[in-house]
Amino acid sequence: MKKLYIYTLLLISTLTFSCKKFLEEYSQDEMRPGTINDLNSLMYGDAYPYTVSMETFDVLADDVQNNPLVNVNGSPVATYLGALQANTLMYTFNPTMFDGLATTPESADVYTKMYLKIKGCNVLIDYVDKVSGTVTDKNAVLGQCLFLRAYYYLKLVTLYGQSYIAPGVNPETSLGVPLVLSSEVKDGGLKRNTLKEVYDQIEKDLIAAEDLLRNNFVQPNAFRVNSDVANGLLSRFYLYRGLDTDWGKAIQRAGQALQNRSTLTALSSWVGANNSIAANGIYNSTSPEVLWVYGGTHSPILVPEIDSRALPPFSVSADLIAQYDKGTNTSNYGDLRFQFYFQSFTVNGSRLTYRTAKNTINAQYGTKGLRVAELYLNRAEAYARRFLATGNAGDRQAALADLNTLRQSRFDTRNTPYVPVNITAAQDLYKFCQDERRRELCLEDGHRFVDLKRWGLGVTHVFTGTDNVTATYTLAPNAPLFTLPIPANAMNNNTGLIQNPR
């Protein structure tokens, strides 16, 4: 395809708007897109995330632990030392964690990466009516771009804005992130919109996207979004916003998606002959459970290049591993997520669980997106929250039904029947929903950090540096640093930004 005039818009920093610079970025003989197929090609590369590396901030949560470095042949393993140095500031909750790209190469850049994708969405949204093509095809592109813009903004505002209903937060005055809703080039800096303005725009975009996709687009594969994905993200959105009126909306949206896509992967079917555990990956693009998938294969924080002579600097936390029922023996593995969701290796005769195994080995896609399992969890939590508020027994039963449906697909039922959980106390049921969400969604698309933040829970890390000195660091519930500092490069490029308290 010929080089497109509109593509140059994506080369401009989202946070620096200079008309002079813009005019210098392209020549007058570049071609404008003429057909909807041109826009589709642009959308794949400039709006969808695909394999773009975007940090999930697992190292800030409690699903990751630090291990002291052990010398091999007189010095630490080179890749281990690099991973330790790159992630020390985040793991120790240092307020300057994003002040330099060199120390946190992915994390410091994720803010700009998402705004560049938003810029791509805006270009396509603004241009879709100017090309030839059917109304259906144009609406399909518009629906996908509205969804993707909302997806990026939901990530941005949950990372760089306060929780919507946190103590002392007024959504009408608390700062969210800048809303950029047009590809028009502007001079000057962009100011941050309020939390309410950002959340309102996300909701508006997702509702419009769901309608457009339902009526105009058939999903060809798991790498593209459709109306079920939009309803699924709406159910996540309403949990994140957390208003009393949002529980029914989360239930409704998750239910709409589950009407079409309710199949869960029976992990028992993955256990091979002689009780063998094969690497399959719950994020498999051909799986009926995967609604949408994108991203790289794993987080570089949890080093994939393992040296069996030493522990990597970061691995899956013992606290997370303790959340799983390990079963009684090889004929009953209990909760099979422990067997299938983590990569392990043996050090001095002991099994070390060091990173996620939710992606298929050697696959070119990762563990971000949306699965059917999350729909059940979103709906169960919304039922549990409503049960807490009203005491309605029907909500308790509905939450348990969703939880047991998910858990039955995860337990080893080859020889042992699944025993459903039955919880009567509202607070206990809510806590079980939280724990089940952690067991299912760990090390996946940044769920844990956002969940800890919105639930008002804290994190404690024990860290041993290269000097072999051990110290404890705590991120208290509702601490200011749960609202991440805006990276220094973004602050430097946009004089209109106000930094978060730290």
Q: What is the pLDDT of residues 449-477, one digit of tens each?
A: 999 999 999 999 999 999 999 999 999 99
Q: What is the pLDDT of residues 379-389, one digit of tens each?
A: 999 999 999 99
Q: Which range among 118-122, 269-273, 275-279 has the greatest average pLDDT?
A: 118-122
CA torsion angle for 148, 264, 405, 377 (degrees, to 10)? -20
Residue 107: pLDDT band with limits 50, 70, 90: low
Structure-token match 């009926």, residue found: 288
Segment among 116-130, 307-321, 369-383 with least mean pLDDT? 307-321
Note the pLDDT of residue 365. Answer: 67
User: Above 60 in pLDDT, residue 22?
Assistant: no
Catalogue the E-assigned strands of 168-322: 290-294, 314-316
Q: What is the pLDDT of residues 246-256, one digit of tens each?
A: 999 999 999 99
Segment among 151-165, 201-215, 297-311, 443-457 with least mean pLDDT? 297-311
State the pTM of this model: 0.93
User: Above 50 in pLDDT, residue 224?
Assistant: yes
* Secondary structure (DSSP) of 321-372: HTTS---SBTTB-SBTHHHHSEEEEEETTEEEEEEE--BPTT-S--SEEEEH
